[in-house]
Amino acid sequence: MDFDSPEVKKCARALKEIDFELAYLALLTCEGLKPLSRWEKPLDGDGLELLQQIGLLTKQIRRTVKTGKEVVETIFSRSPAYIQLYEQHFGNSPIDKSAQTQRFEGFLFGYPPCCVNQYIRRPYAANNLAAQEQKILFHWACRNCKITPALLTACKNVYNLLNSC
């Protein structure tokens, strides 16, 4: 992704207008820091088009919640294989938070497995990140994580770029 390109900046700004977090997820996914991302809030055709304009593949996936109500998730990725994996595994299925699901989601979303395992054992256990650092990650880091610091540096760059555009 060429962040100097006026087209890319324009898309990033438009995505930010929809939701900062959506724009941030989109850029992290474009940069390959997340193989696939999921957006759980409603997103219309304009939003989908913006994601596609910055080079992402998108797909809307129907799921159900416990009450039987249908929800639509939007997933996006640079990789058709990841879109397919998500769709095969979760398409038309009820939303669940089992350990097995969390492990598979962690794999798709690019979370370090050590952090996923710690989260399954005990969610939000104290780690050694500053609140400001934890805030720009989408996974909860395990204590003394060997992967998160490197990931954090890369995420910070994207976060700052997005803030300045």
The site for Zn ion (CB under 5 A) is made up of: 112, 114-115, 142, 145
Residue of minimal Cβ distance to Zn ion: 145
Shortest CB 152 distance to Zn ion, Å: 11
With respect to Zn ion, which residue has the nearer C-beta, 24 or 140?
140
Distance CA 152, CA 5 (A): 24
- According to DSSP, the residues that pair with 39 across neighbouring strands are 74
Shortest CB 92 distance to Zn ion, Å: 32
With respect to Zn ion, which residue has the nearer C-beta, 18 or 114?
114
Shortest CB 81 distance to Zn ion, Å: 25
With respect to Zn ion, which residue has the nearer C-beta, 147 or 165?
147
Shortest CB 120 distance to Zn ion, Å: 12
With respect to Zn ion, which residue has the nearer C-beta, 27 or 145?
145
Question: Strand order of the sheet with strand 36-39?
Answer: 36-39, 70-77, 57-64
Shortest CB 117 distance to Zn ion, Å: 8
With respect to Zn ion, which residue has the nearer C-beta, 83 or 142?
142
Query: At residue 115, what are phi and psi to the nearest 5 degrees?
Result: -70, -40
